[in-house]
Structure 1
Amino acid sequence: MKEYHEKLDAILSDSSKFERLTRNPTEDIKRDANRVISTINAATNTVHLPPIQGDFSLGYLYGNMKTHKEGNPLCPIISQTPASTYALAKCLNQILTPYVPSRYSLSSSVEFLEEIRDSPGTGIIASLDVESLFTNVPVDETIDIIMDRVYRDPSTAPLNIPEASLHTLLDICTKRAPFSTHRGQMFCQKDGVAMGSPLGVLFANFYMGAV
């Protein structure tokens, strides 16, 4: 257990990714998010985001051990299920998923098998792994990629949500998502997206599909 805690401490010591908090910002986050949600709901009849209501807890950090790698490093998981922005992040994920670039991705293992079956049978299949992908996704750059894709790409119909409002909500759900640690401390992940966030896969797919 001591080694497990020390590995989590080492992850949290990266000040470029994590910021220690001295107070619980949940009520501030609810207020700021609801202000933007009200703006969106008043601006369009085609998209309705439910306001954030009720009491919420902080997300929480734990680690999954990578037993297949030397030193058995931990993969940090930040469960945001109890957090105030969890349901909002799920809504945004559903709204934005149709805009994810698909040029370099496959939708399922069935599609992969079809590609292999139709290939000429020459060449090499390689599996490349991006180390700590979610943690290393640059949030600000990825939000800009999403904005360009949703509002300025001629191949997609613009979303009927004010751009500035969507930008703010994505920022809130990723950079203002507080969580508690194994030592009872409060942190937020200020860059990179959290495994455990409904937006984690979405942001990774947008970023990897654009770079």
Structure 2
Amino acid sequence: MEHINYNHTEIKNLEGYIDSTDEFIDILRVNKPNGFLASMDAVSLFSNLPVLRTINVILNYVYEQADIPTPTISKHIMEDMLIICTTEAPFKCPEGKLCVQHDGISMGSTLGVLFAQAFLSAVEEAVFLDDGIKPQLYYRYSDDILVCTQSNVLLENLRLRPQ
């Protein structure tokens, strides 16, 4: 999983990704944004994350980027490993019995943060292809987003676009 961790660092370092909620405050102090400021959240991201779609995002990133080394294991084997590690994840229910999660990715999964980052980065990339929707300010920490737009209409378009 060395390559996955390497690429997780790459995904985290995208413009607009920050390392803590404290950075939101620092950004506001420095930028003093004008317009409509909002905080958004990817609701129930882990339990609703489309695992197979996210695996494809990760595989494309890891195997199709010319500027990073290609992993030594085949794309097919990596895909199988990611599927095994993230689908139908067993966990202990509050009653103590073993249960299986069928949808999304389990909150305790070591791959959970990577999957959330990869998925949200892919959504952001698709949303921001439209130049008319780019906000004045956009920063994300995990699934929490700080955004400032010039109008309430643009803010609403930004909120609705990923859906």
Q: TM-score, structure 2 length as denominator?
A: 0.61
Name the counterpart of 2:74: 162
Task: Describe the SS at the equivalent of 2:38.
Answer: coil
Question: 8 Å contact 1:174–1:189 — kept in the other structure?
Answer: no
Identity %: 34
Name the counterpart of 1:94: 5
Question: 8 Å contact 2:90–2:99 — kept in the other structure?
Answer: yes
How far did 1:165 drift?
Answer: 1.7
RMSD: 2.7
Q: How many residues align?
A: 122
Task: Describe the SS at the equivalent of 1:126.
Answer: strand
Q: As a proportion of its length, which structure holds more helix?
A: 2
Q: TM-score, structure 1 length as denominator?
A: 0.49
Determine the C-alpha separation between the residues in 2 that align with 1:189 and 1:92: 26
Determine the C-alpha separation between the residues in 1 that align with 2:64 and 2:51: 19
Q: Deviations over 1:102-157 (max 9, x none)?
A: 23422345654554344254123311122211001100000000000111123433
Name the counterpart of 1:208: 120
* Structure 2 residue 150 is the aligned partner of structure 1 residue 150: no
- Could you tell me which runs of 5 or more consecutive residues in structure 2 were left unpaired when the two chains were aligned: 124-163
Name the counterpart of 2:89: 177
Determine the C-alpha separation between the residues in 2 that align with 1:198 and 1:97: 12
Change (3 A) 1:194 1:210: same
How far did 1:100 drift?
Answer: 1.7
Which structure 1 residue ranges, 4+ long, deviate > 6 Å from structure 2?
Answer: none
Pairwise mapping of residues 103-118 of structure 1 onto structure 2 (< 5 A)?
A: 103-109=15-21, 111-113=23-25, 115-118=27-30
How far did 1:93 drift?
Answer: 5.7
Task: Describe the SS at the equivalent of 2:36.
Answer: coil
